[in-house]
Structure 1
Amino acid sequence: MQQNDPLGPILNSPPPAISRAEAMVLLATHYGVIGDMDRLSSERDLNFRVEGDEGRFVLKFANVAEDPSVTRFQNAALEHIAARDPGLPVPRVIPSLTGETDIPLASGSLMRLLSYVEGVPLHLAPPSPALRRSMGAMAARLTRALEGFADPAADHVLQWDIKQAGRLRPLLPAIADPDLRALCARWLDRFDTVVQPALAALPWQVVHADLNPHNVLTDPQDAGRVAGVLDFGDMVRTPRICDLAVAAAYQIDPAAVQASLADVVAGWEAVLPLLPGERAVLADLVAIRMVTTLAITSHRATRQPENAEYILRNFPSARAGLLALPGPV
């Protein structure tokens, strides 16, 4: 790990080094589940898909650099969602044989077992107005389910959180294209002077904060319907409008920016109407999320070249989207 890295330890620490065989033993010992395992891609944790007689699950090993209170915050949020909106298609926390929601390991990692949510990853589904509206509606429904949830770890600092955009400048040199790098810098200027001062007056709550196309599932029988949401690892307390901004940032069609954004907003507002102050900063926050993606992924890819393909998976769409948006003024 690089010393004094702006991202801090959590986004620079590699996933836990636990073999498939070791994971199978831990799963059987603590959960009584026996089955086949396949490793899943992940930004910072170690995840396995489990196929067992009892069903399908996801076995998760938290990054050792993550504060255990943050992992437990994620579990508590999932349990809150299950109680508040039981029909929401999100993972459910599976207790261990002794009733625990996580198992501390000697390595410093926490092990968890979650239910497996079925569906087709959104990035494999054909874009459409119906899918964008469904994305907006699912994001709003999830945000509404998390309303009122509180946890001491909810205010942890994570660079992916849009409200932390002012901390991105040290990462910009990793963006190779000088014109793109300069555009990102201008957006950060606007964030500092216009957007950030407006955030304090908006509604704040815990949100998912990472509704990218790899964390959202669509219905195999209806490609225009969102059928599941995964990966609650970036949850944080922030202005709630940030969750809509994140979702919309990945749904922007560069050939139809305003229409595609309007689709996502229409879906959201069918569930959760926007306040005037939220509407005023939405387009800016969409752009800032794209800048966040470009800066963080470029920086991390230079430090973890062996994982660069996965890290940079959303870079092309963020670049195309940012270039298609009206520039900052």
Structure 2
Amino acid sequence: MPLNTAPVHDHLLEAAPAQVSDAQAAAIADEYFGQRGTLNRLAGERDLNFHIAHGHGDDRLLKLSHPLEDPQVVDFQTRALLRVEALAPTLAVQRVYPSLNGEHQIPITVDGQPMIARLFSFVDGVPLHRVQQRSRALRENLGDDLARLGLALKGFEHPATADHELLWDLKHASRLRNLLVYIQDREQRALVERFLDNFERHALPRQATLRAQVIHNDLNPHNVIVDAEHPDRVRNILDFGDMVHAPLVNDLGVAAAYQVGEPDAPLATACEMIAAYHRRCPLLAEEQEILADLIATRLIMTLSITAWRASLHPENRDYILRNTGHAWQAVQGLARLSREQAQEQIFAACAKQEEPRP
């Protein structure tokens, strides 16, 4: 696959958030979905999100797409969720509900801003990023659920994938070079360049030949809800807004990046997730070979894109930079390993799952 070093341009990430008041959102929820309750505005990268609390459980989430979002992309996300619900009804993923007229997507205009309104499930629990002590069982459950999600999306096709480009797509990681100027620390920038070089040398040439399909592409701790009393149990996987058609292993690379642990053994915890994924959906040898490169690339992608976006939207800086502390620690830990050492740990984790059980 050739280098994609085109200038960075993602109109949605560059654009200011849409302007919708709480009162307007409440009116939309009532008129189109028959939902009344207490609204609480939630943070989001592109869409506007409102938690509708009913006071008796069974809460909902109203999502309003950004005015610049392609309606085809919104439909892509909705159809994927409906497919997962049909093929994997017990999988803990967000559900999308029909409006009063039976449609899952309602085109609306708010103060001249064209949007699409949708209604989603809202599951009580604890966002994973707030869980300080994460168990091996949790990481294994995450790996297994991600594999199940990939299996449910296997074969799913949609016209939007033909020309849908997303800056967060690992296939386009070479574009990060245009963003490195936003990383102020020279030593940190050099570390990012080192891992980007590794991606272009080892992982990028494989991207065009690996098995590919629609993937979630964003299993970060802010997109996972766990049980408050049993935090090893996944209650909900959220936010299908970064879905792309890409190599299947990229999905695991993204997810495992957020499970990289302490600098003295950075891949130990990530390998627990990888092993569980491999048990449900076996990784091919060529996928195992580049998985460490993909993990590191997702981390440097987080650092580069968020540094750039924080400069564009200082008012949303805290939300944009929410994952950077872990990302820097993880990158520094991975830098202590040679590429061969990282590969060996992943090979061993997968091989252990293939051993006959007593």
Helix, strand or coil for the counterpart of 2:214?
A: strand
Q: CA RMSD in A?
A: 1.6
User: Size of the alignment, in residue pairs?
Assistant: 326
What is the alpha-carbon distance in structure 2 between the residues aligned to residue 90 and residue 286 of structure 1? 23
Helix, strand or coil for the counterpart of 2:114?
A: coil
1:181 to 185, 189, 198: 189
1:133 to 110, 122, 140: 140
C-alpha displacement of 1:57: 0.5
Q: Which amino acid in the other structure matches residue 287 of structure 2?
A: E
Unmatched tracts of structure 1, length 5 or more:
none
Contact 1:90 1:117 in 2 (8 A): no
Helix, strand or coil for the counterpart of 1:214?
A: helix
Which residue matches 1:154?
Answer: 161
Q: Percent identity?
A: 44
Helix, strand or coil for the counterpart of 2:150?
A: helix
1:284 to 276, 293, 300: 293
TM-score (norm 2): 0.88
Q: Which amino acid in the other structure matches residue 78 of structure 1?
A: L
Contact 2:92 2:234 in 1 (8 A): no
Contact 1:209 1:242 in 2 (8 A): yes
Matches within 5 A, 1:79-98: 79-98=82-101
2:331 to 319, 322, 327: 322
C-alpha displacement of 1:225: 2.3
1:77 aligns with 2:80: yes
What is the alpha-carbon distance in structure 1 between the residues aligned to residue 230 and residue 32 of structure 2? 37
Contact 1:79 1:92 in 2 (8 A): yes
1:118 aligns with 2:120: no
Q: Which amino acid in the other structure matches residue 319 of structure 1?
A: W
Contact 1:146 1:207 in 2 (8 A): yes
C-alpha displacement of 1:5: 7.2
1:163 aligns with 2:171: yes
Q: Deviations over 1:34-56 (max 9, x none)?
A: 11100011111110000137831
What is the alpha-carbon distance in structure 1 between the residues aligned to residue 234 and residue 184 of structure 2? 35
Structure whose residues are more often helix by fraction: 2
1:262 aligns with 2:271: yes
Matches within 5 A, 1:186-265: 186-254=194-262, 255-265=264-274
Which residue matches 2:11?
Answer: 9
Change (3 A) 1:5 1:277: closer
Q: Deviations over 1:83-142 (max 9, x none)?
A: 110011112111111111111122111111111123211111222222221211111111
C-alpha displacement of 1:14: 2.3
Change (3 A) 1:5 1:59: farther
Contact 1:143 1:240 in 2 (8 A): yes
What is the alpha-carbon distance in structure 1 between the residues aligned to residue 188 and residue 338 of structure 2? 13
Contact 2:202 2:293 in 1 (8 A): no
Q: Deviations over 1:191-242 (max 9, x none)?
A: 2222110122211010110000000111222122222100110011100101
Helix, strand or coil for the counterpart of 1:231?
A: coil
> After TM superposition, where is structure 1 displaced by more than 6 Å over at least 4 residues in a row?
none
Q: Which amino acid in the other structure matches residue 271 of structure 2?
A: A
What is the alpha-carbon distance in structure 2 between the residues aligned to residue 200 and residue 102 of structure 1? 33
TM-score (norm 1): 0.95
Unmatched tracts of structure 2, length 5 or more:
1-5, 340-358
1:67 aligns with 2:70: yes
